[in-house]
Amino acid sequence: MKPSLLLYCQHSLGIGHLTRSFAIADALTADFRVVFLNGGPLPSGTRVPAGVEIVSLPPLGMDEGHGLVSRGTLPLTEAKRRRGQAVLGVLRALRPAVLLVELFPFGRKKFAFELLPLLKAARRMAPRAPVVVCSLRDILVGGRADQDHYDERARWITDRYFDLVLVHADPAFARLEESFRPRRPLRTPVRYTGFVVPERDAVEAPRRGSYVLVSAGGGAVGRPLFAAALEAQALLASRPRRTMRLIAGPLLPEAEWQALRDASVGRGGVDLRRSVPDMGAELRSAGLSVSQCGYNTALEIARSGAPALVVPYGDGGEDEQMNRARRLENLGVVRVLAPSELTGARLAAEIVALAEFRPRPAALDCGGAGHTAAILTEMLRARGPVALGAGVGRPA
């Protein structure tokens, strides 16, 4: 039997965390029995990797004001109570050799109600506690009013409960200490895995088309970009290469999706889609790309070679996407438009300029999923024989 691994993932405004965690889980199945604790709603059409056992908790998420909200039928208080019971139930039933927690405590502070009890219970497990590992993206959110206190709290929790921090980035592109600055240095070891990208089937590269692809990740906060894109398309309708394909995303609120459809009725040159099975393939076949700059989108752009303009999401003082965008801009991979400057007219002008942009190839380590599996296997081998878990509890 394979050693068991419990992976906790909570996606909120977007689906980047879920996409990255599924790619990691997929790579882990060769060496582990992987049980995936899913904390958010699964978008329609989501493919769970083969061999991954998924346990979906009562879904929670964040609204645009960063408040915690229920995404299911249960009231928030009841959803939190049941989730707290469920995560501990799964831990005790599975008795994992590895507990892999995505983002917390470097983010997801509002989920401490279930994660701190999970971490404490893991540390008390006998006869042997699991290896506890944090899974982090390349760049953390900064700009909070209490950022110094936030970072110091994350450092304290990490040093108390975690054995390792895995940063899913190429250290030549971004290092943890550049977006995480606690007052005291982190004692927990940090290892870089390279970027995590989903495995692709070997297919012939599509021929690059002439349309402009407009996307916003999961779409939850894509409305301003889509509205500006429709205005820009109207201004550029008479020019060549100005047909637009808008990918709304599965998390765009239904009312906003209907408004987008209404605004597109009777307009030539607009190809509106709710979602697509492979955004990477879309980028490889598009003439130009306009998007936000989340982790997965940025990597797909860099790998596709498409001339790309990014308009980073930055509401509420969030600087993660802008930080990533400027780094890619410095490498010559993308052009950047600040969200404060986003208008239909400005976007139209940027699209005209983008047609002359020739992106540079980005030499980034994108083997993060496989490297993650190798690192965790190495850690367990160093510890010696481990107990094998049996059952998995069901959410209450």
Has residue 393 been placed in a domain? no
Has residue 140 been placed in a domain? yes
Same domain assignment for residues 160 and 186: yes
pLDDT at 100: 98
Same domain assignment for residues 181 and 216: no
Burial state string for 301-313 with b = 16 or more CB within 10 A and e = fewer than 16:
bbbbbbbbbbbbb
Total number of domains constituting the chain: 2
DSSP 239: S
CA distance linking residue 330 with residue 205, whole number of Å: 27
Residue 103 maps to which CATH number?
3.40.50.11380
Give per-residue pLDDT as tens, 64-96. 677 899 999 999 999 999 999 999 999 999 999
Q: What is the average per-residue pLDDT within 352-371?
A: 95
Instruction: Report angle CA 105, 251, 309 to the nearest 5 degrees.
Output: 85
Has residue 203 been placed in a domain? no
Has residue 124 been placed in a domain? yes
Q: What is the average per-residue pLDDT within 146-164?
A: 97
Quote the longest CA-to-CA distance of the chain.
71
Q: What is the average per-residue pLDDT within 38-62?
A: 92
Same domain assignment for residues 258 and 282: yes
Same domain assignment for residues 339 and 235: yes
Has residue 249 been placed in a domain? yes
The mean predicted confidence, pLDDT, of the chain is 92
Alpha-carbon Rg for the chain, nearest whole angstrom, is 21
Same domain assignment for residues 170 and 301: no
Structure-derived torsion over alpha carbons of residues 17, 303, 174, 218, reported in degrees to the nearest 10: -30
Query: What residue numbers bound the domain in which 280 lies?
Result: 212-354
Q: Which of 121-125, 135-139, 348-352, 388-392 has the lowest mean pLDDT?
A: 388-392
Confidence band for 396, pLDDT divided at 50, 70 and 90: very low
Residue 199, φ and ψ in degrees, nearest 5: -65, 140
**Residues 13 and 292 sit within 8 Å (Cβ to Cβ):** no
- Cβ-in-10-Å burial (0-12, 13-18, 19+) of 376 comes to buried
Same domain assignment for residues 222 and 142: no
Same domain assignment for residues 112 and 254: no
Has residue 204 been placed in a domain? no
CA distance linking residue 272 with residue 284, whole number of Å: 18
Q: Is the dihedral of CA 72, 75, 78, 80 positive or negative?
A: positive
Q: Which of 74, 76, 73, 54 is nearest to 63 (CA)?
A: 76
Residue 308 maps to which CATH number?
3.40.50.2000
Q: What is the average per-residue pLDDT within 120-124?
A: 97
pLDDT at 13: 74
Peptide bond into 224 cis (omega under 30): no
Residue 16, φ and ψ in degrees, nearest 5: -60, -45
Same domain assignment for residues 337 and 379: no
Has residue 259 been placed in a domain? yes
**Residues 380 and 3 sit within 8 Å (Cβ to Cβ):** yes
Same domain assignment for residues 378 and 296: no
- Which positions ≥6 away from 122 have C-beta within 8 Å? 91, 99, 129, 130, 132, 161
Same domain assignment for residues 62 and 169: yes
DSSP 10-51: ---SSSHHHHHHHHHHHHHTTTSEEEEEE-SPPPTTPPPPTT
Q: Residue 388, Cα to own-chain centre: how many angstroms?
A: 30
pLDDT at 266: 85
pLDDT at 43: 84
Same domain assignment for residues 169 and 248: no
pTM score, whole prediction: 0.92
DSSP 6: E
CA distance linking residue 365 with residue 193, whole number of Å: 8
Same domain assignment for residues 140 and 273: no
Has residue 19 been placed in a domain? yes
CA distance linking residue 265 with residue 244, whole number of Å: 14
